[in-house]
A = this chain, B = another copy of it.
């Protein structure tokens, strides 16, 4: 089970289309189920709206149901109140006893893997703030995939798993802490890059987006060497018991860690 509240202006831009808000509010919750390897079952929705706006509601509903149908989750109840725009979604999933994935369980030496291209949502946000309203990077921000089928396939395979909401390095820190590990070596050249992200920003902006950009809702997981890497996933390094996380380029040189965490669209989250 999981619950998440998204506030306008904090967790999504005030002027994001209603379809995307509907999609995204469910996606961020499904991402939590995916990280546990759970099969989505039921959800409830509580919606605070400043006023009744039929066109907005129709768009929100279409976006929410589009992802609900795709992921096989059923909306079973809800609540509406009048107030500043806020969306709370609660999700329940099922996983066979003993097979739920957690952040704990990674062992030193295991491969560190990621389920897609990190940094696209952060680049999409920068583009959005510059006025862009379309394209693949804005799409990654507005309509993140909810990797629930991948999460299910990682049951009994991944030793630890977390979804990336705060950023690759911050969420890696959560996984390491829960697993009682102290370090990781990340091969920068193995960070997957899409064509769209490769054409965005400069090297430094891209590296920051990939390492500390949030809101990608990908899965970050560890795999023992005996386990096959699932399709469309990449090995980006290994977890260790060394002191801290190291960023290594193709020549084995260490790069400095980007400073700062991730602040979503404004302030705390």
Contact = CB atoms under 8 A, between A and B. Distances in A.
B44 A1 contact: yes
- Oligomer: number of copies: 2
A84 B90 CA distance: 20
Contacts of A84: 83-84
Given A46-B88, A90-B44, A1 B77 contact: yes
Interface residues of A, number: 28
A11 interface: yes
What 7 A-B pairs have minimum CB-CB distances, sorted nearest first? A90-B90, A3-B44, A5-B46, A88-B88, A82-B268, A7-B83, A3-B46
Q: Which of A1, A267, A269 has the most CB of B within 10 A?
A: A1
Interface in A34-79: 42, 44-46, 48, 76-79
A79 B10 contact: no
A92 interface: yes
Given A86-B83, A88-B88, A77 B269 contact: no
20 contacts: A1-B42, A1-B77, A1-B92, A2-B44, A3-B77, A3-B78, A3-B88, A4-B46, A4-B79, A5-B46, A5-B48, A5-B83, A7-B81, A10-B83, A81-B268, A81-B269, A82-B267, A83-B84, A86-B86, A90-B90
Contacts of A7: 48, 81-83
Contacts of A83: 5, 7, 10, 84, 86
Interface in A1-40: 1-5, 7, 10-11
Contact of A10 (B5, B11, B82, B88): B82
A76 to B, nearest CB: 6
A267 B51 CA distance: 11
A230 to B, nearest CB: 27
Nearest to A32: B77
A5 B88 contact: yes
Contacts of A88: 3, 5, 46, 88
B1 A269 contact: no
Contact of A3 (B2, B10, B45, B82): B45
A76 B267 contact: no
